[in-house]
Structure 1
Amino acid sequence: MDDDSPTARWERRTEVPLGAASLLFLAAYAIHVLAHGLPQGGRDVCLTVIAVTWAAFLFDYLVLWRLSGQGVGFVHRHLLDTVVLVLPLLRPLRVVKLYDAVLRRRGEPRLPLYARVMFYAGIAVLLLGFSGALAVYQAEYRAPHATIVTFGDSVWWAASTLATVGYGDVTPVTPKGRTIAVAMMMCGLALLGAVTGSFSSWLLQVFSREGDEKPPGS
């Protein structure tokens, strides 16, 4: 039976709008960073969209906090919402929750657990990689002695960082860029661990099932 608490009802009502707001934020941020020739009016629109989406997430966070009645404990029990509020770079991760919401509203079955973990981790890698590449490019491309001077350089750096390869051919030189790099390294390790752990568990389950199906005496 579905949870019918006030918190659950609020989350069901807002998960699609907030997922759409996450995509809107990412689009506005990408245009703001990459469109160097954008007129000031266009930049103002992008900044307004970014601010409005942040305000929407703040409002949602405060409503959930109020409905939960958990006090300070709400912060660590809703860690994704807390992190997304503090670090706008991670806001597009709300799109991961949007996928489940769309399937539920259409009445379609969800993927098995292991497939969902790997699928969600893949989406998270793409979103984090693109968002991280934008943020590092914004911080680096005008810095003295920078090695990340094009968005292509930044995408290459983000891919090697999230894959935990770290070729070192292009690296951040600014404090902001290096801070983002540390966060992406941690996310890359966490996501890699989630995917490999789920895949290993799935293989063990498959092999165990095959062993149980062998006829006696074989």
Structure 2
Amino acid sequence: MFVSVAAVVVLLAGGGFAAFESEQVSSYGEGVWWALSLMSTVGFVGEAPESTAGRLVSSILMISGFALMALVTASIASLFVREEESTGEATEREFEDRALALLDHLVERIDRVETRLDDFADSGSKDRG
């Protein structure tokens, strides 16, 4: 998605450079090359743009290039974080399952102890009476 948007921006900006910077850029292909070099944060190929429109297009391309690099880097980093979280989540789930099983076992034991205590209390009250 990011790359396709960047490709469209480069192609449009190449036409803009060819139109606005006719002294610097002699053809559409050269304009695309200029736009690609700016988008990839390499810098200007040749001289800086002279017209205001050319400078505006250059500024937009530079900012777009930085944004594209940041988005791609963040996307790659999120893959690593997701993998680590899924491993941690599985370990956490195992711990929770074991803890719940232990709690169920303890509840059963407490129920048995209470039953025995009730039986003991009942047998003691019959002996007195």
Cα contact 1:134–1:151 (8 A) shared by 2: yes
Structure 2 CA distance for partners of 1:152 and 1:184, relative to 1, 3 Å: same
Structure 2 Cα separation of the partners of residues 128 and 147 of structure 1: 20
Of 37, 50, 54, 1:177 maps to 54
Q: Find the residue that maps to 2:68 and give its secondary structure.
A: helix
Q: Find the residue that maps to 1:164 and give its secondary structure.
A: coil
Q: Where in structure 2 are the equivalents of 1:44-63 lying within 5 Å? A: none
Structure 1 runs (4+) greater than 3 angstroms displaced: 210-214
Structure 2 Cα separation of the partners of residues 123 and 137 of structure 1: 21
Structure 2 Cα separation of the partners of residues 127 and 207 of structure 1: 35
Specify the code of the residue in structure 2 equivalent to 1:187: S
State the number of aligned residues.
Answer: 92
TM norm structure 2: 0.61
Q: Which runs of 5+ in 2 are unaligned?
A: 95-129
Q: Find the residue that maps to 1:180 and give its secondary structure.
A: helix
Of 127, 145, 155, 2:8 maps to 127
Structure 1 Cα separation of the partners of residues 88 and 30 of structure 2: 49
Q: Which runs of 5+ in 1 are unaligned?
A: 1-119
Cα contact 1:137–1:148 (8 A) shared by 2: yes
Of 83, 105, 109, 1:206 maps to 83
- CA-CA distance at 1:203 after TM superposition: 1.8
Cα contact 1:148–1:171 (8 A) shared by 2: no
Structure with the largest fraction of helix: 2
Structure 2 Cα separation of the partners of residues 205 and 152 of structure 1: 41
Cα contact 1:148–1:170 (8 A) shared by 2: no
Q: Where in structure 2 are the equivalents of 1:136-147 lying within 5 Å? A: 136-141=17-22, 146-147=23-24
- Based on CA coordinates, which of the two structures has the bigger radius of gyration? 2
